[in-house]
Amino acid sequence: DAGVIQSPRHEVTEMGQEVTLRCKPISGHNSLFWYRQTMMRGLELLIYFNNNVPIDDSGMPEDRFSAKMPNASFSTLKIQPSEPRDSAVYFCASSPQEGHQPQHFGDGTRLSIL
Amino acid sequence: DAKTTQPPSMDCAEGRAANLPCNHSTISGNEYVYWYRQIHSQGPQYIIHGLKNNETNEMASLIITEDRKSSTLILPHATLRDTAVYYCIVTGFGNEKLTFGTGTRLTIIP
């Protein structure tokens, strides 16, 4: 079975540019999560969706960050404008909504803002 | 969610059992204990979870004390591929949010 698919795997861009990270969850999973990992702050939850609806975005650092889930098989995390402090590894995860089910993580997008 | 405490690092000889402790003294009755691990440059990987009974799967065993204030993850025959950061997470039933701490960096020694 295909796992969570993230693209791109690596992104290097200059500050001020718009960055779009993409995620395809596991088919049939109803919950989708975006995380950010840095050396200083560790692994942090940014936002999560249930049935394509954002449930909790309290981890989104500021208005420059936005996330959408237009359908059950696709989500984006956008940063506009990007800043050097946004450099991190961004992970997407999905899980079935029912009960206590584990989250399945993608391999992440390593983002570098110059 | 209850806070967890883990040792920052541990070593284990290859082929031996690796026992990773976790304290969660403020856990409440409906909170589960989850374990994930993160191998270098990869996304976190689910290992096991439990409420109050001991659990075992193909990857590991989870031993939860009777008072539920601590638990131990056991990797029965550690291999070099088990070198990773291991996270113990406590979360309530119906709460999908996972709060990752700093975890335990486990190094398997050849």
Contact B46 A42 (CB under 8 A): no
- For chain A, positions 44-73, list CB contacts with chain B under 8 A: 44-45, 48, 50, 55-56
Residue partners of B91: CB distance under 8 A and separation at least 6: B1, B31, B32, B34, B97, B98, B99
Amino acid, single-letter form, for residue B82: D
Q: Is pLDDT of B96 > 90? A: no
Comparing CB atoms, the residue among B87, B96, B102 nearest residue A48 is: B96
Tell me how many residue pairs between chain A and chain B have CB atoms under 8 A apart: 44
- Residue A2: band (very low, low, confident or very high) from pLDDT cuts 50, 70, 90: confident
How far, in Å, CA of B7 to CA of B102, rounded? 9
- A chain contacts of residue B96, beta-carbon cutoff 8 Å: 31, 33, 48, 50, 55, 95, 97
- Residue A109: band (very low, low, confident or very high) from pLDDT cuts 50, 70, 90: very high
β-bridge pairing B9-13 and B104-109: parallel
B43 Rama sector, left if φ>0, alpha if ψ -120 to 50, beta otherwise: beta
**pLDDT per residue over B40-95, tens digit each?**
989 999 999 999 989 999 999 999 999 999 999 999 999 999 999 999 999 886 67
Comparing CA positions, the residue from B46, B25, B22 lying closest to residue B104 is B22
Q: Which residues of B lie inside 8 Å of A (Cβ-Cβ)?
A: 32, 34, 38, 42-46, 49, 87, 93, 96-102
β-bridge pairing A109-113 and A88-95: antiparallel
Rounded to a whole number of angstroms, the distance from the CA of B85 to the nearest CA of chain A is 12
Q: Is pLDDT of A99 > 80? A: no
Buried b (16+ CB within 10 A) or exposed e, A51-81: eeeeeeeebbeeeebebebeebbebebebee
Residue with tokens 């650092």: A61
How far, in Å, CA of B77 to CA of B17, rounded? 5
**pLDDT per residue over B2-49, tens digit each?**
689 999 999 999 999 999 999 999 998 889 999 999 999 899 999 999
In this structure, what token pair is assigned to residue A113?
A: 């803002």
Rounded to a whole number of angstroms, the distance from the CA of B10 to the nearest CA of chain A is 19
Over residues A9-36, mean pLDDT: 96
Residue A41 contacts B where some CB pair is shorter than 8 Å:
no
What pLDDT, on the 0 to 100 scale, is given for residue B92? 82
Contact A102 B46 (CB under 8 A): yes
Comparing CA positions, the residue from B90, B102, B104 lying closest to residue B18 is B104
Rounded to a whole number of angstroms, the distance from the CA of A44 to the nearest CA of chain B is 7
**pLDDT per residue over A33-42, tens digit each?**
999 999 999 9
Using CB atoms within 10 Å of the CB of residue B105, give its burial: 0 to 12 exposed, 13 to 18 middle, 19+ buried: middle
Amino acid, single-letter form, for residue A61: P
What pLDDT, on the 0 to 100 scale, is given for residue B53? 87
Rounded to a whole number of angstroms, the distance from the CA of A96 to the nearest CA of chain B is 10
DSSP line for A12-67: EE-TTS-EEEEEEPPTT--EEEEEEEETTTEEEEEEEEETTEEEE-TT--STTEEE
What pLDDT, on the 0 to 100 scale, is given for residue A98? 63
What pLDDT, on the 0 to 100 scale, is given for residue B29? 86
Contact call for residues B43 and A91 (beta carbons, < 8 A): yes
